[in-house]
């Protein structure tokens, strides 16, 4: 119950902040950390049940006929991610309370952070593909508003749109994969997918399902070539970058792969897809760090590289590889989040994030320097930090493969770790080492609420490394059981003995240290590398966007030219062609009925009346005569309804025609004299099209009459109108009960149209503001 309450509060308290934004100004902002802290305690309270196999948090029927329910479960894998989301979230909220002090609209940031946290928890707790997709999209939407927090900045808005477009593409892929999985398995639940591996992998749709799931994960976890949205998202405030882009959102794709690995893994599609994407991503992004001088950009690319390692290890699918991937999720969160927070403190205190301009701040910012140093050493994989354990897990898993492909993979992992070590030292050590720049002065102390959260996280990385059996038994082992290795103990150890793994770790540390000595961040090198960005995935995507936008603009200018009659012509012509393609073959084969029943004199008189009124409408030079003639046509149709025993339709038609005539008269009364804007050729064209459209409608009616009559739907409504809806008028019952939602949508459309008409009626343009003809 505590978890459900906390989840509800994470979505409700942003509404509270929208009404009373003053509650997050000044010292009162610290209370926002109470919600993630409550959820963190609730997760810890459920630890014993998680160790015993998991627990059901909430189970509510949603669409039982479709097999969709709102079910939240907490198992080993979701438990690990829940602790990261809520634990790091608590510290981020405390950090943001101090970081955002002085911002007038900080309530908006805290509100969207709360919604994002609730969305992430809903994502990892979901036991249903459909609800998983819904919360997946909520994370994308909330991150869009967080990345674009600085609304006045064009670059910030562009980064937010890019992130939403890329992750939204992945969301559509996830929805398609979920629907296909439901089609193949007969349900959308995630709990039983592990037992259906043979069913899914043997399905002819398996390649498509696997590709869609991988596409969803790659876009969310910033894998090559979809990685570019993550460095661009660094335009967001530092608390957002530390929370979303190091510990939570970007790991949602990794979570998805781990969750589906038992049911979709073990095939060449899965193994090669993940290892190829992860391998390319981890090396490419780590190489990019050599050419970045902005602290957050440097950390962003190192994050992309670390995510590549997680995907790469998940692709191998062995117990050791999955253990390395799960362990690295925890390791990365405990050193990358403090590095981001340290970068935010430096930016706030010094006014710059340029690594080339930062040096010697260790004495002025001792606690911040300690946090940066500890995080950098864990990132480097130096014992006894938890980063050392995580790096050894990767090497150990690859060595255990014992084949040439794995050796190539280990070479890639080695190069990646060396480059990441270099990047970590630049972000966590370089700004505090050496002598300060002349004239830098002594900054104001950032305060404990700023340096406290990163220091605590960095110390956790040190403590967990000294006693790795604790996170191994409490976090990694339960998660490993969920990913297809039940009953196994994911023993984590600081010392693995002498052997190839230790040699690789030592070589990584030595190579990274030498690289840091001989290669320093350089703005010149960065500018030279930027010339190659013209062929980078981001540039290709933006070029494609410009081509698409230009083509769309030209097509829009061609079709949307401002004349309503042109729009009507295009729409009716399209309908005419599409319908005629289907009806002409039926007419040629003689499948349409052609017998005409006896015609009475009354019907002839009504038809003559209709023909005369149509003639007046087409050829008159007076708008009032045209409107009145249209009304006569409508009343003639009313009489036909009466003759064919449909008085309800006749009354409806009579009411509509009367109101239409009155409204038209009120409108045309204020219009200028009748003007002719079209040529005779255009009027002939329109007349021929109108006659053709009428003929097609006539053939369509004949086609409907040729279809066999089935009364199942009508009989159902007739039998159940009174029994289920307590109504004797079947038509009314259909409109307001059986199809009440359709009616509501139609009413909403009419209401929106009425608001638009009212706005046009109230519009008063000056003569100089009228658009040119």
Distances (CA, A) of 652 to 611, 619, 649: 22, 28, 5
pLDDT at residue 728 in the model: 80
Tens of pLDDT, residues 598-654: 778 888 888 899 899 988 888 887 878 888 888 888 888 898 888 887 887 888 888
pLDDT at residue 770 in the model: 45
Residue 194 has pLDDT above 90, yes or no: no
- Higher-pLDDT residue of 673, 510: 510
| Alpha carbon distance 318, 409 (integer Å) | 14
Residue 110 burial (C-beta neighbours within 10 Å; 0-12, 13-18, 19+): buried
- Higher-pLDDT residue of 438, 292: 292
Mean pLDDT of 744-773: 75
Q: To the nearest 10°, report the CA torsion of 518, 521, 527, 532.
A: 70
- The single-letter DSSP state of residue 1 is -
| Alpha carbon distance 701, 568 (integer Å) | 22
Return the minimum-mean-pLDDT range out of 189-193, 416-420, 715-719, 767-771. 767-771
Helix or strand (DSSP H, E) at 63: strand 55-63
Tens of pLDDT, residues 332-361: 999 999 999 999 999 988 888 999 888 889
Return the minimum-mean-pLDDT range out of 34-48, 479-493, 697-711. 479-493
Question: Which pair of structure tokens corresponds to residue 312?
Answer: 């790469």
pLDDT at residue 443 in the model: 65
Omega prior to 384 cis, within 30 of 0: yes
Q: Assign 251 a pLDDT band (cuts: 50, 70, 90).
A: very high
Return the minimum-mean-pLDDT range out of 243-247, 352-356, 536-540, 674-678. 674-678
Residue 305 has pLDDT above 90, yes or no: yes
DSSP for 65-121, written as a single string: GGTEEEEEEE-HHHHHHHHIIIIIHHHHHHHHHHHTTT-TTHHHHHHHHHHHHHHHH
| Alpha carbon distance 117, 249 (integer Å) | 9
Distances (CA, A) of 703 to 582, 588, 697, 699, 713: 10, 12, 10, 6, 20
Q: Assign 765 a pLDDT band (cuts: 50, 70, 90).
A: low
At 467 the three-state DSSP class reads coil
Residue 772 has pLDDT above 50, yes or no: no
Q: Assign 441 a pLDDT band (cuts: 50, 70, 90).
A: low
Q: Assign 759 a pLDDT band (cuts: 50, 70, 90).
A: confident
pLDDT at residue 767 in the model: 59
pLDDT at residue 589 in the model: 72
Tens of pLDDT, residues 202-216: 889 999 999 999 999
Residue 532 burial (C-beta neighbours within 10 Å; 0-12, 13-18, 19+): exposed
pLDDT at residue 773 in the model: 40
Omega prior to 612 cis, within 30 of 0: no
Among residues 180, 189, 241, the alpha carbon closest in space to that of 208 is found at: 180
Helices assigned H by DSSP within 644-767: 647-668, 680-706, 712-725, 730-733, 740-762
At 694 the three-state DSSP class reads helix
Distances (CA, A) of 83 to 121, 240, 388, 497: 10, 18, 22, 31
Tens of pLDDT, residues 82-122: 999 999 999 999 999 889 887 778 888 888 999 999 999 99
| Alpha carbon distance 193, 482 (integer Å) | 11
| Alpha carbon distance 255, 281 (integer Å) | 17
Mean pLDDT of 740-768: 81
Tens of pLDDT, residues 113-168: 999 999 999 999 998 899 999 999 999 999 999 999 998 889 999 999 999 999 99
Residue 595 has pLDDT above 70, yes or no: no
At 59 the three-state DSSP class reads strand
Residues 6+ apart with CB under 8 A from 210: 264, 267, 269, 270, 273
- Higher-pLDDT residue of 647, 451: 451
| Alpha carbon distance 484, 261 (integer Å) | 8
- CA–centroid distance for 306 within its chain: 22
């Amino acid at each position: 119950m505590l978890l459900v309450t906390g989840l509800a509060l994470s979505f409700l308290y942003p509404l509270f902040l929208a009404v009373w934004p003053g509650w997050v100004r000044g010292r009162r902002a610290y209370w926002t950390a109470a919600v993630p802290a409550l959820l963190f305690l609730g997760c810890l309270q459920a630890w014993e049940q998680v160790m015993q196999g998991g627990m059901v948090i909430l189970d509510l029927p949603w669409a039982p006929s479709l097999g969709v329910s709102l079910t939240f479960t907490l198992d080993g894998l979701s438990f690990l991610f829940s602790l990261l989301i809520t634990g790091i979230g608590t510290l981020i909220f405390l950090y943001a309370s101090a970081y955002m002090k002085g911002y007038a609209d900080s309530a908006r940031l805290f509100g969207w952070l709360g919604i994002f946290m609730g969305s992430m928890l809903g994502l990892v707790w979901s036991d249903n593909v459909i609800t998983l997709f819904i919360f997946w999209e909520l994370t994308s939407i909330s991150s869009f508003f967080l990345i674009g927090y600085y609304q006045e900045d064009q670059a910030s808005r562009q980064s937010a749109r890019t992130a939403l477009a890329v992750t939204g593409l992945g969301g559509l892929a996830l929805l398609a994969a979920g629907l296909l999985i439901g089609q193949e398995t007969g349900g959308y639940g995630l709990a039983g997918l592990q037992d259906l591996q043979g069913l899914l992998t043997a399905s002819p749709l398996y390649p498509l399902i696997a590709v869609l799931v991988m596409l969803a994960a790659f876009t969310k976890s910033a894998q090559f070539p979809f990685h570019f949205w993550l460095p661009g998202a660094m335009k967001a405030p530092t608390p957002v970058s530390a929370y979303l882009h190091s510990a939570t959102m970007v790991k949602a794709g990794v979570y998805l792969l781990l969750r589906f690995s038992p049911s979709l893994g073990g095939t060449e599609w899965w193994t090669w897809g993940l290892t190829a994407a992860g391998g390319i991503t981890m090396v490419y992004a780590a190489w990019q760090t050599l050419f970045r001088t902005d602290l957050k950009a440097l950390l962003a690319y190192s994050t992309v590289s670390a995510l590549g390692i997680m995907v790469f290890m998940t692709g191998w699918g062995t117990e050791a590889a999955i253990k390395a991937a799960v362990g690295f999720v925890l390791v990365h969160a405990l050193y990358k989040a403090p590095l981001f927070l340290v970068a935010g403190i430096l930016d706030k205190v010094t006014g710059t994030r340029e690594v080339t301009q930062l040096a010697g701040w260790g004495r002025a910012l001792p606690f911040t320097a300690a946090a940066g140093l500890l995080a950098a050493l864990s990132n480097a994989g130096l014992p006894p930090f938890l980063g050392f354990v995580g790096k050894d897990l990767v090497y150990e898993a690859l060595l255990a493969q014992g084949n040439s492909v794995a050796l190539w993979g280990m070479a890639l992992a080695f190069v990646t770790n060396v480059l990441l070590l270099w990047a970590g030292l630049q972000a966590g050590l370089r700004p505090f080492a050496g002598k300060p720049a002349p004239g830098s002065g002594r900054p104001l102390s950032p305060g404990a609420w700023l340096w406290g959260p990163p220091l605590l996280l960095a110390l956790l990385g040190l403590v967990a490394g000294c006693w790795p059996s604790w996170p191994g038994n409490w976090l990694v082992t339960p998660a490993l059981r969920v990913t297809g290795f039940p009953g196994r103990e994911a023993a984590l150890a600081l010392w693995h003995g002498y052997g190839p793994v230790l040699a690789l770790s030592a070589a990584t540390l030595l190579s990274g240290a030498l690289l840091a000595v001989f290669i320093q961040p350089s703005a010149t090198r960065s500018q030279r590398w930027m010339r190659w960005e013209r062929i980078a995935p981001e540039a290709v995507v933006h070029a494609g966007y410009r081509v698409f936008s230009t083509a769309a603009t030209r097509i829009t200018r061609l079709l949307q030219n401002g004349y309503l009659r042109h729009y009507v012509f295009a729409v009716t012509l399209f309908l005419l062609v599409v319908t005629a393609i289907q009806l002409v073959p039926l007419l040629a084969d003689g499948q349409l009925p052609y017998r005409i029943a006896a015609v009475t004199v009354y019907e002839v008189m009504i038809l003559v009346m209709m023909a005369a009124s149509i003639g007046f409408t087409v050829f008159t030079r007076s708008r009032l005569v045209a409107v009145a003639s249209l009304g006569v046509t409508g009343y003639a149709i009313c009489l036909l309804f009466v003759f064919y025993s449909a008085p309800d339709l006749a009354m409806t038609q009579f009411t509509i025609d009367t109101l239409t005539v009155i409204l038209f008269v009120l409108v045309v009364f204020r219009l200028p004299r009748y003007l002719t804007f079209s040529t005779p050729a255009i009027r002939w064209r329109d007349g021929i099209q109108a006659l053709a459209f009428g003929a097609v409608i006539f053939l369509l009616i004949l086609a409907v009459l040729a279809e066999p009559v089935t009364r199942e739907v009508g009989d159902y409504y007739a039998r159940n109108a009174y029994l289920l809806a307590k109504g004797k008028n079947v038509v009314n019952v259909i409109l307001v009960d059986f199809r009440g939602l359709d009616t509501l949508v139609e009413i909403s459309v009419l209401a929106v149209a009425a608001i638009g008409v009212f706005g046009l009626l109230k519009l008063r343009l000056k003569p100089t503001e009228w658009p040119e003809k």
